[in-house]
């Protein structure tokens, strides 16, 4: 009976904490606008095949090449006569998947390594952090380009390249978030009852360091989408005819002056997606800051 009461209290407390964070998040008009924009983009990703058939985005029709927006083609056509609206819709899947996947894998790897470095300290901490510092000395895009050039151009290799470039950042973030937690009473209590190191790290330490990790993760997805587009723009990312916003910019750069819509439309798609993630990240950061409580 006592355990049931404790579980109910814990569940109620978690719900009230989430409700409080959601309440503060909603108060930020910019953050809520970012959530609405991202929700619309997510719906486009989910229902892309319903909105327009995938074959439309890759079918070439030279007789209709370089048509300006309007008529049968809302966003016009590209230099191969492919419908830009269809390519924007289906390109959202590749762009968003790369950003989310790269951040997710980097958070998992960086989170584990950062937790190990903070928890064990000493020589383990020194080795992990020095390797991390070495990787961080190389500019993000240069390292990503080097990895893609070595592995080859494909979606998986782009994700691998961006993950390798991002892991050191998350190692530092997680390590910095965990160090103040190590001296807390509940960690000492877990040690005293003989809990294993893995149990303490994953059950007691990491869950209490999620705040800054969630904020950084949300804000990083936007920058990763831009980085993936940058790789594709340089010809080292997603390869045609697969629709992807950065690849669309790469194909359109020679038509920038004569047919600017070919650059503007995918550019707006990239910008809106990154903006929505950054606005949500700012909102989550402010909502989870205890100093901003009403």
**pTM of the complete model:** 0.79
Q: Give 251: exposed, middle or buried? Use CB within 10 Å, 0-12, 13-18, 19+.
A: buried
pLDDT for 210 equals 76
Instruction: Judge whether 189 and 125 are in contact, CB under 8 Å.
Output: no
The pLDDT of residue 96 is above 80: yes
Q: Per mean pLDDT, which range of 5-14, 22-31, 99-108, 236-245 is the poorest?
A: 5-14
Going by pLDDT thresholds of 50, 70 and 90, the confidence category of residue 253 is confident
Going by pLDDT thresholds of 50, 70 and 90, the confidence category of residue 9 is very low
pLDDT for 4 equals 46
Q: What's the mean pLDDT in 153-181?
A: 87
The pLDDT of residue 216 is above 70: yes
| 3-state SS, one letter per residue, for the chain | CHHHHHHHHHHHHHHHHHHHHHHHHHHCHHHHHHHHHHHHHHHHHHCHHHHCCHHHHHCCCHHHCCCCCECCECCCECCCCCEHHHHHHHHHHHHHHHHHHHHHHHHHHHHHHHHHHHHHCHHHHHHHHHHHHHHHCCCHHHHHHHHHHHHCCCHHHHHHHHHHHHHHHHHHHHHHHHCCCCCCHHHHHHHHCCCCHHHHHHHHHHHHHHHHHHHHHHHHHHHHHHHHHHHHHCCCCCCCCCCCHHHHHHHHHHHCCCCCHHHHHHHHHHHHHHHHHHHHHHHHHHHCCHHHCC
The pLDDT of residue 82 is above 80: yes
- Cα–Cα distance, 193 to 262 (Å, whole number): 64
Q: What's the mean pLDDT in 113-125?
A: 88
Going by pLDDT thresholds of 50, 70 and 90, the confidence category of residue 15 is low
The pLDDT of residue 292 is above 70: no
Q: Per mean pLDDT, which range of 39-48, 71-80, 95-104, 180-189 is the poorest?
A: 180-189
pLDDT for 241 equals 79
Average pLDDT, the chain: 82
40-58+73-292: CATH topology: MetI-like fold (1.10.3720)
pLDDT for 214 equals 79
Q: What's the mean pLDDT in 103-124?
A: 89
Q: What's the mean pLDDT in 149-169?
A: 87
- Assess whether the previous peptide bond of 152 is cis (omega < 30° from 0): no
- Cα–Cα distance, 214 to 102 (Å, whole number): 15
11 compared with 204, residue with greater pLDDT? 204
Phi/psi at 143 (5° precision): -65, -45
Q: Where are the domains of the chain?
A: 40-58+73-292
pLDDT for 3 equals 45
């Amino acid at each position: 009976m006592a355990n049931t009461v404790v579980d109910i209290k814990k569940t109620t407390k978690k719900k009230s904490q989430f409700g409080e964070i959601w309440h503060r998040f909603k108060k930020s008009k910019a953050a809520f606008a970012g959530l609405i924009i991202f929700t619309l983009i997510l719906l486009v990703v989910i229902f892309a095949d319903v909105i327009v058939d995938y074959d439309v985005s890759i079918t070439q029709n030279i007789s209709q090449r370089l048509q300006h927006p309007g008529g049968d083609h809302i966003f016009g056509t590209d230099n191969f006569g492919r419908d830009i609206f269809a390519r924007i819709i289906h390109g959202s899947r590749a762009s968003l998947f790369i950003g989310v996947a790269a951040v997710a894998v980097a958070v998992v790897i960086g989170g584990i390594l950062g937790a190990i470095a903070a928890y064990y300290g000493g020589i383990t901490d020194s080795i992990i952090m020095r390797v991390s510092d070495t990787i961080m000395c190389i500019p993000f895009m240069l390292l990503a380009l080097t990895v893609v050039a070595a592995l080859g151009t494909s979606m998986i290799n782009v994700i691998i390249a961006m993950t390798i470039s991002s892991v050191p950042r998350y190692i530092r973030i997680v390590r910095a978030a965990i160090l103040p937690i190590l001296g807390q009473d509940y960690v000492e209590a877990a040690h005293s009852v003989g809990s294993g190191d893995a149990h303490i790290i994953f059950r007691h330490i990491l869950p209490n360091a999620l705040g800054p990790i969630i904020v950084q993760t949300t804000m990083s997805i936007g920058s990763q989408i831009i980085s993936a587009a940058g790789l594709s723009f340089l010809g080292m990312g997603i390869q045609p005819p697969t629709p992807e916003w950065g690849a669309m910019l790469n194909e359109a750069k020679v038509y920038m002056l004569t047919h600017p819509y070919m650059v503007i439309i995918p550019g707006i798609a990239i910008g809106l997606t990154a903006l929505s993630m950054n606005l949500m990240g700012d909102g989550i950061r402010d909502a989870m800051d205890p100093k901003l409580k009403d």
